[in-house]
Amino acid sequence: MVPGTVGYAEDADALVRRYERLEFSEVHSDVLHLFPERPGRVLDVGAGSGRDAAALATAGHDVVAVEPTAEMRMRAQRLHPSERITWVNDALPDLQRLSETPPFDAILLSAVWMHLDEQERPSAMKRLTTMLAPGGGIVLTLRHGPMSPRHRMFDVSAEETINLAEQAGLTLLHHNREEDLLGRSTVSWSCLGFGWANAGA
């Protein structure tokens, strides 16, 4: 079992219902401009219920949706069938099954980074940059507040994540902090957007 997926199989039904209560455009409203305007290749890491992958596919993108929890992945495929979505059983920090995959124009990690520990995060960031096409971008959200005792989570700061991205050759394009859309008063989120530091060179 992937350490970061602890508890997700048992909670799959409840989690899918929770994720599907929100729309992609609502969750990612501040960073929609960071996704390709024209149809491209998008990687959704930790795709969960398939909500975001389905929205990106509807927008015309070819999406590789990575979800290591079988119970989540099966529910997502039933909820959001699409020829534009390729489902893969894989996980950070290595994403080994994607070693031969062409680069992506955008990479999305929505509520995923918090499951990686201090040793996994640097290698995961480096791995993501090897998969990012020239001119591509990464959108990443960070959860702040009390961690669920049922799941393996870490409270990761935006500052650490920005530093890791910069060390990997990326530059910060977007950074905001917002309240939890599900109404949890003790939970907040950072949304970060990154692109290549030399994109304008």
- Is pLDDT of 13 > 90? no
pLDDT tens for 100-120 read: 999 999 999 999 999 999 999
pTM (predicted TM-score): 0.93
Instruction: Provide the 10 A C-beta neighbour count for residue 96.
Output: 9
Listed residue (60, 61, 88, 84) closest to 72, CA to CA: 88
User: What pLDDT score was predicted for residue 201?
Assistant: 43
* 3-state SS string for the chain: CCHHHCCCCCCHHHHHHHHHCCCHHHHCHHHHHHCCCCCCEEEEECCCCCHHHHHHHHCCCEEEEECCCHHHHHHHHHHCCCCCEEEECCCCCCCHHHCCCCCEEEEEECCCHHHCCCCHHHHHHHHHHHCEEEEEEEEEEEEECCCCCCCCCCCCCHHHHHHHHHHCCEEEEEEEEEECCCCCCCCEEEEEEEEECCCCC
pLDDT tens for 42-60 read: 999 999 999 999 999 999 9
- Is pLDDT of 6 > 80? no
pLDDT tens for 63-86 read: 999 999 999 999 999 999 999 999
Is the separation of the CB atoms in 86 and 116 below 8 Å? no
